[in-house]
């Protein structure tokens, strides 16, 4: 039963990722694209955790943590660049 629900949720997450990708492609504004990218980061963290559960291993948490940090930093760097035209002032 657990494997079945994990696969169900994985399908839901993939659908969510596809929707995000659609928003990333159509825009219409650069801010929308950044927001879509940020959401994709969070969704892929969930997908990695699911993969870890499916394989019964806690090995993927470091990857999830790293993606969480890099996703946040890159989104903020994008925003900062658009806000000021520079990342480090």
Partner 1 sequence: MSFAVELTISILLLLGGLFVLVGSIGLLRLKDIYVRLHAPTKATTLGLGGILAASMVFLFVQRGYLSINELLITLFLVITAPVTAHILAKVAMHLEVAPVPHTKNKHLLATAREQQPPQLDNEQDTEKDA
Residues that bind partner 1 (CB under 8 A): 1-2, 5-6, 8-9, 12-13, 15-17, 19-20, 22-23, 29-32, 34-36, 38-39, 42-43, 45-46, 49-50, 52-53, 56, 58, 61, 64-65, 68-69, 72, 75-76, 79-80, 82-83
For residue 66, the minimal CB distance to partner 1 (Å) is: 10
Q: Is 20 exposed, middle or buried (0-12, 13-18, 19+ CB in 10 A)?
A: buried
Q: Hey, what are 47's tokens?
A: 């997908």
Return d(Cα 8, Cα 80) in angstroms, integer. 38
In the structure encoding, which two tokens stand for residue 27, read together?
């825009």
**Residue 86 C-beta: closest distance to partner 1, Å:** 13
């Amino acid at each position: 039963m657990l494997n079945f629900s994990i696969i169900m949720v994985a399908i839901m997450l993939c659908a969510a990722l596809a929707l995000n990708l659609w928003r990333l492609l159509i825009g219409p504004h650069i801010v929308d694209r950044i927001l879509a990218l940020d959401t994709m980061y969070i969704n892929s963290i969930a997908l990695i955790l699911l993969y870890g559960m499916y394989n019964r291993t806690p090995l993927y948490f470091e990857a999830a943590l790293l993606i969480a940090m890099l996703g946040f930093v890159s989104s903020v760097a994008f925003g900062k660049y658009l806000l000021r035209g520079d990342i480090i002032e």
